[in-house]
Structure 1
Amino acid sequence: MKKGKSIGIAIAILVLFGVAFYSYMGGFQQVSVIRESFGPTEIYYVTHKGPYKEIGNSWDRFQKEWESVGITNCDSLAIYLDGPDTEPSKLRSILGCRLDGLSPEQKKQVSLKFKTFFIPKMNGLSANFPFKNFISYFLAPTKVYPKFQEILIAEPSQTSVAIEIYGGSSQSVNSIGFFMPLGVNREIFKSLEDAFQ
């Protein structure tokens, strides 16, 4: 009897801990979607092809590359070219840092090592989700994209890519930004698709 009671207490504690942690991560927070613009901005980037769970390794390699040319901070973002129903091995992602704030010499070094891409000003759906730790990178999309999808079902519109804005690598980041352009022709991102060939 005592053993059963102890197991029950242990399970209850684990459940309470799980609920508290989920709450801390923002799991119960309501996601507010607004309409706003993003860009213009120019980035230097590398590509990642494959499951999102492996994207961290690509970020690590990317960071070593931009640090090798004397860059100490990356105002980072990612552009996701494929929908969630794509086979994981075929998912294409662009990992980028903004050129804004770099000195002319740094921009020169970057242009010698990386491809660059100009993101024009675009209107679309935008949302933010609190950043607590690396788990936020996995939890946030499960909360934000369903909200985007609700709006797209109610108000069908042409979408092209999804952009996630992570902020500076050397600064404290409080939230992850999400942006989905509306009414933007996919052709704008053709050079990014070509980078995978």
Structure 2
Amino acid sequence: MNKLKYIGISIVTLIVLGIAFYGYMGGFQQVTVSRESFGPAEVYYTTHKGAYENIGASWENFQKDWESVGITDCDSLAIYLDSPDTEPEKLRSVLGCRLEGLSPEQKKQIEGKFKTFYMPKMNGLGASFPFKNFLSYFLAPTKVYPKFQEILVAETAETSVAIEIYGGSSKTVDKIGFFMPVGVSREVFKSLEEAFQ
């Protein structure tokens, strides 16, 4: 009987800890969606094709590449070209760092090693979610994108891509930004699609 009691206490403790951790991660936080603009922005980038859970390896390789030319910080973002219901092996993601803030010499080195992409100013839906640790990259989209989808469906609006803004790699980041352009032609991102061919 005592053994069952201890098992019961352990299970309850784990559940309470799990709920507390979920709350700490922002799981119970309400996501507020606002009308925002994003850009203009110019980025240098690399591509990742495949499941999102494997994107970390692509990022590590990208970071080694930009560090190899003397860049010490990346104001990072990612552009997701396909809807989440796409077959995992066909998902296309673009990992980028903003050129803004780099010296002319650094830009020259970057442009000799990476492809660059210019994003015009775009209007759309924006939101943010607290960043606590690497698990936030997985939890945040499950909270934000359903809210975006509710609005897109209600307004019969169309989006072309999803953009996530992570911030500086050498600075303390406290939130992940999300943006979905509305009424922006897919043609704007054509060169990114061509980078996968």
TM-score normalised by L of structure 1:
1.00
Q: CA deviation at 1:34?
A: 0.1
Query: What secondary structure sits across from 1:35 in the alignment?
Result: strand
For residues 60 and 83 of structure 1, the distance between their equivalents in structure 2, rounded to whole angstroms, comes to 24
Q: Deviations over 1:62-101 (max 9, x none)?
A: 0000000000000000000000110000000000000000
Q: CA deviation at 1:158?
A: 1.9
For residues 74 and 185 of structure 1, the distance between their equivalents in structure 2, rounded to whole angstroms, comes to 27
1:191 equivalent in alignment to 2:191 = yes
Q: CA deviation at 1:11?
A: 0.1
Q: CA deviation at 1:9?
A: 0.0
1:38 equivalent in alignment to 2:69 = no
For residues 161 and 41 of structure 1, the distance between their equivalents in structure 2, rounded to whole angstroms, comes to 15
For residues 82 and 55 of structure 1, the distance between their equivalents in structure 2, rounded to whole angstroms, comes to 14
1:119 equivalent in alignment to 2:119 = yes
1:27-106 maps to which residues of 2 (within 5 A)?
27-106=27-106
Aligned-CA RMSD value? 0.3
For residues 124 and 17 of structure 2, the distance between their equivalents in structure 1, rounded to whole angstroms, comes to 37
Give the equivalent residue in structure 1 for 2:130. Answer: 130
Give the equivalent residue in structure 1 for 2:154. Answer: 154
Give the equivalent residue in structure 2 for 1:16. Answer: 16
- Count of aligned positions: 197
Q: Deviations over 1:131-164 (max 9, x none)?
A: 0000000000000000001101111112100000
Letter in 2 for 1:86: T
Letter in 2 for 1:128: S
For residues 46 and 85 of structure 1, the distance between their equivalents in structure 2, rounded to whole angstroms, comes to 23
For residues 153 and 160 of structure 1, the distance between their equivalents in structure 2, rounded to whole angstroms, comes to 14
Q: Give % identity.
A: 76
For residues 119 and 172 of structure 2, the distance between their equivalents in structure 1, rounded to whole angstroms, comes to 25
Give the equivalent residue in structure 2 for 1:143. Answer: 143
Q: Structure 2 regions of 5+ residues with no counterpart?
A: none
For residues 118 and 156 of structure 2, the distance between their equivalents in structure 1, rounded to whole angstroms, comes to 27
Letter in 2 for 1:20: A
For residues 181 and 46 of structure 2, the distance between their equivalents in structure 1, rounded to whole angstroms, comes to 21
For residues 187 and 41 of structure 1, the distance between their equivalents in structure 2, rounded to whole angstroms, comes to 17
Query: What secondary structure sits across from 2:76 in the alignment?
Result: strand
For residues 109 and 48 of structure 2, the distance between their equivalents in structure 1, rounded to whole angstroms, comes to 22
For residues 158 and 114 of structure 1, the distance between their equivalents in structure 2, rounded to whole angstroms, comes to 31
